[in-house]
Structure 1
Amino acid sequence: MSPGDGNDDDLYGGTGQTRTRLPDGGQGDMYGGAARRPARSSSRSLITVVGVVVLLVAAIAFANRGDDASSDGASDKKPGTSATAPTGTKAVASGFAHDEQGAQSAAANYAVALVSADILKPDRRTEIVRQLFVPDKVAGLEAKFDKAYSTGFLSRLGLDTNGNAPAGQTYVSRTVPVGTKTTAYSDGTATAEVWCTGAFGTAGESTKSPVTNDWFTMTLKLRWTGGDWKVESFSQKDGPSPVNGDNKISSADEIAKAVEQYGGFTYAR
Structure 2
Amino acid sequence: NNNNNNNIVTGLSVRSLFDLFLLSKSYPKGSEIIVVPPITIQGMIDIMHFHDIKVVPVDIMAPPSQDDGYSIGVDLNAVKARITDRTVAIMVVHVFGMVTTLDQQMVDMRTLSDQFGLDVIEDCAECYSGLSSSSSSSVRSYCGNSNADISFFSFGTIKTSTALGGGVAIVRDPNNNDTSVPLSSSCDKTRKHWKPAAVMAEDMKRLQYSLFGQQSNREYLWKVLKAIIIRCVAHSPLLCGICYLLLTCLGLDFDAIVTSAIR
Per the normalisation by structure 1, the TM-score is 0.28
Higher strand proportion: 1
Higher helix proportion: 2
Structure with higher Rg: it is 2
Greater length-normalized contact order (CA 8 Å, ≥ 6 residues apart): 1
